[in-house]
Structure 1
Amino acid sequence: MNDSAWSTVFAVTESRNQPTGAAFLLAQLGAHAANRFAARIADLGLSPADVGLLRMIAARPGRSQQSLAADLGVVPSRVTALIDPLDRAGLVERRRSTGDRRNYELHLTPEAARVMDEIKKTAIAHEADITSALDPSQRAQLITLLELIAADQNLTPGVHPGYRR
């Protein structure tokens, strides 16, 4: 890393002696946004991970636990542990696959459809709040830039890397 790049990464504001590098700011904002979203959905009795799973199942009703595991980048037994609480809460149901009786298909319940409407409202309000300092064109530009960075880092679109923990 050359001196110019090094100084950019570890740049500090002169007045407050605080880091301003892009990676630090992304981490700071990401943690802040995640914590705020978790607080917003806590009233629904869900975690951000639960919301992500519900969203993925809603996008592909009837998908297998194995396909969900592949998309998340985890072993199938991890998906079982993630889906079990949603099943007990009456939000997801497992149905035997008609094509392969060894597999289960995942479906949202009617209650989950109602919850998904609440999640959508919450997510829209959250997005508006987090990006309130930006005008619509700045917000679109930020999303485009973040998508470029995510693609360059080989991140799976729509999948939070936290499922792998």
Structure 2
Amino acid sequence: MSESRNRPIGVAFLLAQLGAHAAGRFAARVAELGLSPADVGLLRMIAFQPGRSQQSLAADLGVVPSRVTAMLDPLDRAGLVERRRSAGDRRNHELHLTAEGTRVMEDVKRTAMAHEADLTSCLSPDQRGQLLALLELVADDQGLTPGVHPGYRRS
């Protein structure tokens, strides 16, 4: 039997295999920064939309607001996120990165860029762009929310 026959065949399997591999490697990289991938995702969502409410974050993540509170508490204690009372509705909190949170996100950005470069090092820039475009097309067709890992719904 040739080596190619021993390989699993199928896009779905390869996506799952690469996804698990990439997620594990990313988790190890951000652990060096004292973060989990879920922490990084939350920080990223707050950084891209400063002042957003916990309710809007919960809606985007597909979780109940009380779950978001529990997810944010460690980031708040670490001094990376702050909750500010909304001037428009005192019952709500607006989420912002602290100065330390902004600095950590710069470290995360460098880490993510190195991670992606390592994972795609066998591709030319054109191939990488083509792969990205194809994956975006599939993700869009599947109704996935851009920038939100579906794992939050299980957490």
TM-score, normalised via structure 1 length: 0.90
| Aligned-residue offset at 1:74 | 1.1
Select 1:150's aligned residue among 139, 144, 147: 139
Residue 29 of structure 2 aligns to which amino acid in structure 1?
R
Moved more, 14-23 or 82-91: 14-23
Partner of 1:10: none
Asked if residue 53 in structure 1 is aligned to residue 49 in structure 2, the reply is no
Which residue number in structure 1 is paired with residue 54 of structure 2?
65
> Is 1:135 aligned with 2:130?
no
CA distance in 2 between counterparts of 1:154 and 1:22 reads 18
- How far apart, CA to CA, are the structure 2 residues paired with 1:54 and 1:42? 15
- Which ranges in structure 1 are unaligned for 5 or more consecutive residues? 1-12
CA deviations over 1:66-101 (Å, ceiling 9, x no partner): 000111111111111111110111100111111000
Coordinate RMSD, CA, aligned: 1.1
Structure 1 consecutive aligned stretches of length 4 or more whose deviation exceeds 3 Å: none
5 Å matches for 1:14-163? 14-15=2-3, 17-163=6-152
For these two proteins, the number of residue pairs brought into alignment is 153
Give the secondary structure class of the aligned counterpart of 2:6.
Answer: coil
SS class of match (1:44):
coil
Answer with 14-23 or 92-101: which moved more.
14-23
1:20 offset after TM fit, Å? 2.0
Cα offset for 1:38? 0.6
User: What is the letter of the counterpart of residue 33 of structure 1?
Assistant: A
* Cα shift at 1:14: 4.1
Given the two structures, how large is their TM-score scaled by the length of structure 2? Answer: 0.96
Tell me, in whole angstroms, the C-alpha distance in 2 between the residues paired with 1:71 and 1:65: 10
Larger radius of gyration: 1
| Highest RCO, 1 vs 2 (Cα 8 Å, sep ≥ 6) | 2
CA distance in structure 2 between the aligned counterparts of 1:14 and 1:34, rounded to whole angstroms = 30
Q: Distance in 2 between matches of 1:81 and 1:131?
A: 35
